[in-house]
């Protein structure tokens, strides 16, 4: 049985990916930082459906915490086949209203998190000459968003991280790809009023908001043998919002 580690898997895209990967035979390490209740609910859903999953707490911005996370998973499962770096934080603010601490936290979770996870996991993938690393960026990492400079910069950095790491790890048989979700109907969108949600749906060529499951399906494909000759790519899951 293959093992997948999913950061930020207590809700939204991460939770949908955890359930989908488990349904397809993976043992799932459900990472969370603060939402223990959400992570445990995901684990219960998976185990109730006959799958194998367990929750593991770690702030991915903390290198030592990530080392402990990886050690825990390896002790339980013996190997890690797929890493999905999905953990993220969001903020809507003018650049001039963004504090240095907020800026650092944004980069810490998105970019430092990607580095810490890959740095801890890559050696065991290289030793087996196999593995898959997936990052979850955003369409705003491709085109930028007003009042989301920190978020856009962090997500753009993930795209560069993915492309460079793919070239570095390709000779070791490891694929590295990125998905860039558009407007996805998660808790992040729950704060939008109905008028805003309708406007976003209308602005999306396919005429609806995306679902966490839409993104999870793209991740499962990229982790599968069907995508074995795909690496260093950015797959937009945005309903045509950004082309």
Q: Domain boundaries in the chain?
A: 3-184+215-232
pLDDT 10s digits, 86-143:
999 999 999 999 999 999 999 999 999 999 999 999 999 999 999 999 999 999 999 9
At 203 the pLDDT is 94
At 142 the pLDDT is 98
At 68 the pLDDT is 98
CA distance 194 to 33: 30
At 132 the pLDDT is 98
List of residues 6+ apart from 108 with CB closer than 8 A: 61
Of the candidates 26, 32, 115, 151, the residue annotated as catalytic is: 151
Strand partners, 185: none
CB 186 within 8 A of CB 86: no
| pLDDT < 70 regions, the chain | none
CB 166 within 8 A of CB 231: yes
The class that CATH gives domain 3-184+215-232 is alpha beta
| pTM given for the model | 0.97
Q: Is 32 in the active site?
A: no
CA distance 149 to 140: 9
Which has the closest alpha carbon to 46: 24, 61, 66? 24
At 83 the pLDDT is 98
CA distance 202 to 127: 48
From residue 33, give the alpha-carbon distance in Å to each of 60, 121, 142, 194: 8, 19, 27, 30
């Amino acid at each position: 049985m293959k093992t997948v580690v999913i950061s930020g898997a207590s809700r939204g895209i991460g939770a949908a990916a955890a359930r989908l990967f488990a349904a397809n035979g993976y043992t799932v390490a459900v990472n969370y930082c603060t939402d223990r209740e959400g992570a445990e609910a995901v684990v219960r859903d998976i185990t109730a459906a006959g799958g194998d999953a367990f929750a593991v707490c770690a702030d991915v911005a903390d290198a030592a915490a990530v080392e402990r996370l990886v050690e825990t998973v390896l002790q339980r499962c013996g190997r890690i086949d797929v890493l999905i770096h999905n953990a993220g934080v969001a903020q809507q603010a003018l650049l001039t209203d963004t504090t240095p601490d907020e800026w650092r936290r944004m980069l810490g979770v998105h970019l430092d998190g990607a580095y810490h996870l890959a740095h801890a996991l890559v050696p065991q993938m290289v030793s087996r000459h196999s593995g898959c690393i997936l990052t979850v960026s955003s369409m705003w990492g491709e085109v930028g968003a007003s009042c989301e400079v920190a978020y856009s910069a962090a997500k753009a950095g993930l795209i560069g991280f993915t492309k460079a790491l793919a070239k570095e790890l390709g000779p070791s048989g490891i694929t590295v790809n990125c998905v860039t979700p558009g407007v996805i109907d998660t808790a992040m969108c729950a704060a939008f009023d109905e008028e805003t949600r309708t406007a976003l749906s209308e602005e999306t060529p396919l005429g609806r908001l995306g679902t966490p499951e839409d993104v999870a399906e793209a991740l499962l494909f990229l982790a599968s043998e069907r995508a074995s000759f795909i690496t260093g790519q950015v797959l937009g899951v945005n309903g045509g919002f950004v082309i």
